[in-house]
């Protein structure tokens, strides 16, 4: 099962980001969202929207550069980030080819999509089926 | 709930915080209501709207930036240079919710910067910065350059173009490129303060009092959005579906409101025309209705370009009302207005006025070459748009608005200067729905389609359109609902997808904030808001004499379409005004009575 984004269906409402922060942080916002939508403004050329979220890469570069093993891949190929182990060095943020790991300025720890433990909230909130988990 | 507002004085170069106590929020909610209250409190009477003593109040609502459907926009409230009365202008874009994410429910901007400046807000870092290098740039260039300089993604931005700098009385503020706080000249107020732009980013978020309760209720409401025909229609064609309705109803402003239908616009400016050129649909933050259309058009030089728009009001005022049926032409004029920073409605109104004045041989000889243009003249329209922004030639008069322009042209042309209180008519001819005429006349900001959507009752509803009877109470009802929605700053459009009663919005408020209102309290607040704003205008000298409509809709029978033969008459307007004032508890001159002020607990503002 992978989280998949179809930019042609996206309307840029960012409900995915808002529900992500609400369920993970207890507030709605954009900065701490684990899925972020970028608009191609003002040119409006295609692709109009891009989504950044963890792709759970095989042989993930973030895992390779993490010195404290805060990032690990489980048996199903899902990459997990343990904030308890994270020392905030930012190497994973630099290494991610999808710009899908971010630093939390308040905690000095990295954060990324955790697929909500197997049932991503963002998918349920996408009214236009731009996000699918299958 | 309390509100925390940034309090910025450009003259003194100071940044402070103003806290709005919980009892005031409880009485006025936010947005429109709170804006009216604050403007009455912060301004003395009769200040120059373009002087440093005017204030700009930027406000979010109590749920802005949350997941409540349609709670994205922000309001800019100030004294209007176009009407000399209250104006509240709304827009989406990032400014509102980024302010909230930065920890503020809005901001007050006072004074005047000595040199061109912009405001930089990133959480608790708030700075007044030099904008000399941006002054003179069009609003898109200025935004692009500013964003590049910041070197960080995610800022909401609000920028004025040359028209705002030149104090054009209907200059707009451009938000996140394609969204405008357009009406009432809020961009000119910004220009008068030497404030070219503001950028804001917040890294925090909006808290939610009862997250499980909210998620459960929201899931139930959003389920209807997923299958909503209204949402699907807006996603397909945007606000052009309104064009289809007004064309069919005979309410479409055509050739300066001389006619109510424009057959050549079929398949061009209507939903079929939009669909032909549409590349994508876009929604505002957290909105279930993607009403923004990305169109690909070709300009007069043959260059292909994309824009978000034109939306309905623009296809009306820069299209049919100018006798223009080409979407390419309307889109080019739209982009020109956006980049120069002007309200497309007001620009359309002055140009259509000039076209009709030319038709009737009324253009003063010294401007004959510049303004002697006919309906349908695309090249002349584009040229005049620029002349207005830079106040060249007749643009100097036109930049003051259609009421002033008609005063200068004279010869009885006031009869077809389509405005109320100086604010140009939006794209609905009220001869097709007399209540819409009342709504234009009594709107505190002047002719306005957003406080009571003109076709709501008399085109789509079962209220008889061609009578004054019953309209006072009916229009009050529409106003009261919007008074709550616009104080919450919930977009009216979310209702197309998520039917959400005021009681359901009250439930959202309970789940997200500590505000808890009964239906009865909301009804009282709706009245309190309208009467408070009325008191601002009364202090500025406005009264019944200003709740007017142009002679065209009072006296001239509609020549074509389903409303053929209809006109409102002065007696009809008087009857509607009497009924409306009575329903509000205002006297026959439109002044709120002492009893009404006491009933709604409205304190008088400064003198």
Q: What tens digit of pLDDT does each residue of B531-577 get?
A: 999 999 999 999 999 999 999 999 999 999 999 999 999 999 999 99
Is-cis flag, bond preceding A42, omega within 30?
Answer: yes
Question: C-alpha distances in angstroms, A15 versus A5, A124, B163, B235, B262?
Answer: 14, 10, 35, 16, 39
- Any CB–CB contact under 8 A between A64 and chain B? no
Number of neighbouring beta carbons within 10 Å of residue B372:
16
Interface residues of B toward A, Cβ cutoff 8 Å, are 65-67, 101, 140, 143-144, 153-154, 176-178, 202-208, 211, 214-215, 219, 222, 225-226, 231, 235, 279-288, 290, 294, 306-308
All residues of chain B having their beta carbon less than 8 Å from the beta carbon of residue A9 are none
Q: B446 and B582 share a domain?
A: yes
**Domain containing B387 — which CATH number?**
1.10.569.10
Q: What is the pLDDT of residues A8-48, one digit of tens each?
A: 999 999 999 999 999 999 999 999 999 999 999 999 999 99
Residue B32, class by beta-carbon neighbours within 10 Å (0-12 exposed, 13-18 middle, 19+ buried)?
A: buried
Q: What is the pLDDT of residues B480-507, one digit of tens each?
A: 999 999 999 999 888 777 888 999 999 9
Lookup: tokens for B323: 């006798």
Long-range contacts of B369-375 (CB under 8 A, 24+ apart): B370/B394, B374/B323, B375/B255, B375/B256, B375/B322, B375/B323, B375/B324
Q: How many domains does chain B have?
A: 3
Test mutation, B204, B220, B235, B308, chain A, max A CBs within 10 A = B204
For residue B215, tell me if it sits in a domain. Answer: no
Domain end (from B178, B201, B224): B201
Q: Which of B450, B407, B404 is nearest to B425 (CA)?
A: B450
Q: How far apart are the CA of A36 and the nearest CA of chain B, in angstroms?
A: 10
Segments forming the whole domain that contains residue B342? 238-417
H/E run at residue B35: helix B31-42
Cβ pair B208:A15 closer than 8 A: no
Global confidence as pTM: 0.98
Q: What's A98's DSSP letter?
A: T
Cβ pair B176:A41 closer than 8 A: yes
Q: B323 and B396 share a domain?
A: yes
H/E run at residue A72: strand A71-73
Q: What is the pLDDT of residues B40-59, one digit of tens each?
A: 999 999 999 999 999 999 99
Asked if ipTM goes beyond 0.90, one says yes
Question: C-alpha distances in angstroms, B503 versus B220, B498, B520?
Answer: 15, 13, 10
- Write the CB contacts of B342 (distance below 8 Å, at least 6 apart in sequence): B161, B163, B168, B170, B171, B172, B187, B385, B388, B389
Q: What is the pLDDT of residues B51-81, one digit of tens each?
A: 999 999 999 999 999 999 999 999 999 999 9
Cβ pair B203:A27 closer than 8 A: no
Q: B359 and B413 share a domain?
A: yes
Q: Name the one residue in this structure whose structure tokens are 């106590």.
A: B21
Determine whether domain A57-110 maps to CATH 3.40.1190.20: no
Confidence label for B607 from pLDDT (cuts 50, 70 and 90): low
Instruction: Spell out the domain ranges in chain A.
Output: 1-53+113-134, 57-110
* Cα–Cα distance, B353 to B468 (Å, whole number): 27
Among the partner-chain residues A19, A29, A38, the one whose CB lies closest to the CB of B101 is: A29
All residues of chain A having their beta carbon less than 8 Å from the beta carbon of residue B177 are 41-42
For residue B403, tell me if it sits in a domain. Answer: yes
* Nearest chain B alpha carbon to A25: B205
Residue B476 clears pLDDT 90, i.e. is over it: yes
For residue B137, tell me if it sits in a domain. Answer: yes
Residue B125 clears pLDDT 70, i.e. is over it: yes
Lookup: tokens for B374: 């006919």
Q: Identify the bridge partners of residue A103 per DSSP, sorted by sequence position.
A: A110
CATH of A1-53+113-134, one of 3.40.630.30, 3.90.950.20, 3.20.20.70, 3.30.70.20: 3.30.70.20
Cβ pair B279:A38 closer than 8 A: no
Q: Name the one residue in this structure whose structure tokens are 């008609």.
A: B406
**Average per-residue pLDDT in chain B?**
97
| Residues A104, A26 contacting (CB under 8 angstroms) | no
Cβ pair B208:A28 closer than 8 A: yes
């Amino acid at each position: 099962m992978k989280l998949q984004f179809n930019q042609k269906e996206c309307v840029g409402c960012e409900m995915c980001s808002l529900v992500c922060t609400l369920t993970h942080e207890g507030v709605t916002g954009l900065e701490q969202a684990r899925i972020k939508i970028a608009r191609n403004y003002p040119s409006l050329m295609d692709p109009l929207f891009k989504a950044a979220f963890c792709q759970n890469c095989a042989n993930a570069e973030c895992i390779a550069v993490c010195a404290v093993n805060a990032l690990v891949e489980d048996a199903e190929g899902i990459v997990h980030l343990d904030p308890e182990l994270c020392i905030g060095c930012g190497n994973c943020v630099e290494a991610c080819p999808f710009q899908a790991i971010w630093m939390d300025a308040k905690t000095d720890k990295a954060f990324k999509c955790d697929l909500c433990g197997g049932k991503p909230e963002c998918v349920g909130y996408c009214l236009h089926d731009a996000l699918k988990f299958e | 709930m309390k509100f925390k507002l940034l309090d910025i004085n450009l003259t003194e170069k100071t940044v402070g915080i103003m806290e709005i106590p919980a009892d005031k929020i409880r009485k006025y909610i936010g947005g429109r209501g709170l804006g009216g209250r604050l403007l009455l409190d912060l301004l003395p009477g009769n200040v120059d709207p373009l002087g440093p003593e005017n204030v700009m109040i930027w406000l979010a609502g109590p749920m802005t930036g949350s997941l409540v459907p349609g709670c994205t926009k922000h309001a800019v409230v100030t004294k209007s240079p176009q009407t000399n009365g209250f104006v509240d202008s709304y827009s989406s874009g990032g400014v509102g919710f980024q302010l909230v994410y930065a920890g503020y429910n809005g901001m007050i901007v006072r004074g005047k910067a000595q040199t061109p400046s912009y405001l930089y807000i990133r959480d608790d870092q708030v700075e007044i910065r030099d904008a000399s290098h941006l002054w003179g740039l069009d609003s898109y260039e200025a935004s692009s350059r500013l964003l590049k300089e910041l070197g960080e993604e995610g800022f909401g931005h609000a920028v004025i173009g040359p028209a705002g700098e030149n104090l054009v009385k209907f200059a707009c503020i451009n938000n996140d490129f394609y969204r405008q706080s357009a009406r009432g000249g809020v961009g000119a107020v910004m220009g008068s303060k030497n404030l070219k732009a503001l950028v804001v980013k917040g890294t925090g978020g909006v808290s939610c009092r009862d997250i499980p309760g909210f998620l459960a209720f929201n899931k139930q409401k959003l389920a209807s959005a997923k299958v909503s025909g209204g949402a699907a229609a807006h996603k397909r064609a945007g606000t052009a579906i309104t064009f289809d309705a007004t064309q069919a109803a005979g309410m479409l402003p055509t050739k300066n409101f001389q006619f109510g239908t424009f057959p050549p616009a079929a398949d061009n400016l209507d939903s079929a025309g939009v669909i032909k050129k549409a590349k994508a649909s876009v929604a505002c933050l957290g909105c279930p209705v993607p009403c923004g259309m990305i169109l690909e058009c070709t300009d007069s030089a043959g260059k292909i370009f994309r824009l978000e728009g034109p939306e309905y009001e623009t296809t009306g005022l820069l299209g049919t009302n100018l006798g223009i049926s080409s979407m390419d032409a309307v889109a080019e004029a739209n982009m020109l207005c956006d980049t120069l920073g002007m309200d497309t409605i007001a620009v359309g109104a002055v140009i259509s006025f000039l076209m009709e004045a030319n038709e009737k041989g009324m253009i003063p000889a010294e401007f004959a070459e510049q303004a002697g243009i006919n309906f349908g003249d695309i090249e002349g329209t584009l040229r005049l748009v620029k002349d207005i922004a830079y106040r060249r030639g007749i643009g100097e008069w036109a930049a003051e608005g259609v009421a002033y322009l008609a005063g200068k042209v004279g010869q009885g042309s006031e009869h077809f200067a389509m405005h109320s209180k100086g604010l140009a008519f939006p794209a609905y001819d009220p001869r097709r729905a007399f209540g819409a005429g009342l709504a234009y006349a009594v709107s505190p900001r002047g002719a306005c389609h957003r406080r009571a959507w003109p076709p709501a009752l008399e085109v789509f509803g079962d209220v008889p359109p061609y009578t004054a009877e019953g309209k006072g109470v009916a229009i009050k009802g529409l106003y009261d609902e919007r008074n709550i929605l616009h104080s919450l700053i919930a977009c009216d459009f979310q209702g197309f997808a998520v039917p959400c009663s005021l009681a359901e919005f009250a439930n959202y408020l309970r789940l997200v904030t500590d505000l808890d209102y009964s239906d009865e309290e909301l009804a009282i607040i709706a009245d309190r808001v309208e009467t408070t704003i009325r008191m601002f205008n009364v202090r500025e000298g406005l009264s019944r004499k200003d709740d007017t409509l142009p002679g065209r809709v009072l006296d001239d029978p509609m020549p074509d379409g389903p409303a053929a033969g209809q006109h409102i008459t002065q007696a009809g307007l008087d009857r509607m005004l009497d009924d409306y004032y009575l329903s509000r508890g205002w006297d026959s001159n439109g002044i709120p009575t002492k009893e009404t002020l006491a009933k709604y607990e409205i304190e008088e503002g400064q003198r």
